[in-house]
Amino acid sequence: MPDPQLTVEDLYVRFPTSRGTVEAVNGVNFTLEKGQMLGIVGESGSGKSVTAKTLMNLLPRTAEVDGNIIFEGDDVRAVAKERRKHFWGVKMTMVFQDPMTSLNPVKRCGEQITETLRYHLGDDKATAKKKAIDLLEQVGVPEPSKRVDQYPHELSGGLRQRVVIAMALACEPSLLIADEPTTAVDVTVQKRLLDLLDGLRRDRGMSMILITHDLGVARGRCDDVAVMYGGRLVERAPTETLFADSRHPYTEALLRTIPRIDQPSHTRLEPIAGRPPELIDPAEECAFAPRCRYAQPDCLGTIPPVGGVRGQHEFACFHPANTDRGRQALDANLAAGQTVTGLQIQANAGVN
């Protein structure tokens, strides 16, 4: 089996602040095969965007990074100074959430694409402009030769995001990282943008990391989905496995808390009790334990390591859902009426 295109090993990212050290990413490991689309799902503060920014070398100077990132045989964190200029933004590029803030409002759309081409590939003005029009056409911008001379404010949100995607594709990357690319747009636009990204990835044999908080977005498009919580990757599996047979109690709780379109109206939702984990000086325990209905004493002593079947279905939990061990833990907690962390639980909660 060939080496994966991207390997992330024991990635730690910390930000020293006046209130203490924020442990944003806590030992994340994952690999990405060529041509694969990996979804990273998590809530605010789960560390998904920080992971992406680490890959792209976009973290502020104050960040303390530890771990290995190998991309196509190169150690990303040790790219030699003379290669740095043409490393990021060429083979590995990124698309951000808000297209208005990723575009320069006082530059024409075309210039923003040709800038990349001229800087990285050394194209002359005319070639670059021709390529830019071509790229705009590929990303489905109507009348590309007219749009190329327009400013971002003259375009709709959906078109702006297409221009940003065209910029990211300019140097023919082999990995595209999309960080919440459709969060700022409407559903009909979202569908067209996701269709576009999916099509581009297939046509170009490009790999993609799709970062989203929307489980539905990940479900429809990704080969594999990884779930992050409290700076850790808590579960990763092929998409359908993750949704049909989730192991981590957080994944299970997340799937149950979302209103579903196939439920009748006024279906009572199951909230996840408690609040998101503290990232400043977190305790040496499973970050989800205080909110978890399965929590047992061993969840508090140590951080559960990533187990399961490597490369197939990995999860970091001592008492995984949908297993005998998990059921025993849940039954014991239900009998006691509360978990080891004092979370009150009732027998009827959790029954669909």
State how far the Cα of 132 lies from the Cα of 218, in Å rounded to an integer. Answer: 30
Which of 159, 178 has the CB closer to other proteins? 159
Give the residue with the Cβ less far from other proteins, 89 or 277: 277
- Considering beta carbons, is residue 254 or 329 the nearer one to other proteins? 254
Greatest pairwise CA separation for the chain in angstroms: 74
Question: What's the min distance (Å) between Cβ of 224 and other proteins?
Answer: 17
Contact residues for other proteins (CB under 8 A)? 43-44, 156-159, 186-192, 194, 213-217, 219-220, 253-254, 257-272, 275-276
Shortest Cβ 69–other proteins spacing (Å) = 27
* β pairing state of 6-17 and 64-71: antiparallel
Q: If residue 149 lies in a helix (H) or strand (E), which one and from where to where?
A: none
Cβ(157)–Cβ(141) under 8 Å?
A: no
CB of 40 to other proteins, least distance (A): 15
Least distance in angstroms from the C-beta of 177 to other proteins: 19
Shortest gap between Cβ of 174 and other proteins (angstroms)? 26
Residue with tokens 């269709």: 195
Angle subtended by helix axes 157-169 and 125-138, to nearest 10: 120
Q: Angle of helix 109-116 relative to helix 125-138, nearest 10 degrees?
A: 110
What is the strand order of the sheet 175-179 is part of? Answer: 92-95, 175-179, 207-212, 37-41, 224-229, 232-238, 313-315, 307-309
